[in-house]
Amino acid sequence: MKQDITIQIKDREGKVHTVLAPTDMAMNLMEVVRSYELAPEGTIGICGGMAMCASCQCYVLNDTILPEMQDDEEAMLSEAFYVKDNSRLSCQLHITSELDGLQVELAPES
């Protein structure tokens, strides 16, 4: 059984990383970014993944179908900076097989 999916992540310096993410460890995309250390510790996932700080904001670059935004994510994004139409909080994107091939870019630190 295939358990890892592939995700392409452009870091804040513009470097693109193609990484494997496990689907069976209840991880979210923010945690994947941290586990590969693609953004310095303390600059991403500050609230731990509660959709309460927007430090893990990312832009979705392709048409991978994502779970719908919940109220708390939408509310947090409405207070965040550098928000675009394709912004999501990566802590709210749980790693499932549906996310295979997803391409994202990390939003600037704010």
Partner 1 sequence: MIKTDILIIGAGPTGLFAVFEAGLLKLKCHLIDALPQAGGQCSEIYPKKPIYDIPGFPEILAGDLTNNLLEQCKQFKPGFTLGERAETIEKQDDGSFIVTTNKGTQHQAPIVAIAGGLGSFEPRKPLINTIASFEDKGVEYFIKDPEVYRNKRVVISGGGDSALDWSIFLSNVASKVTLIHRRNEFRGALDSVEKVQELKNNGKIKLITPAEVVGLVGDDHLKAVVVSQSQHIPIEFEIETDHFIPLFGLSPKLGPIANWGLEIEKNAIVVNNALDYQTNIPGIFAIGDVNTYPGKLKLILCGFHEATLMCQAAYQIINPGKKYVLKYTTVSGVDGFDGTRKEAPKQIVKSID
Binding residues for partner 1 (CB under 8 A): 37, 40-43, 46-47, 50, 52-53, 55, 71-72, 74-76, 78-82, 110
User: CB-wise, 72 or 101, nearer to partner 1?
Assistant: 72
Contact present, 31 and 19 (Cβ < 8 Å): no
98: phi > 0 → left, psi -120 to 50 → alpha, else beta; which? Answer: alpha
To the nearest whole angstrom, how small is the minimum distance from the Cβ of residue 42 to partner 1? 4
CB of 77 to partner 1, least distance (A): 9
Helices (H), the chain: 29-35, 71-77
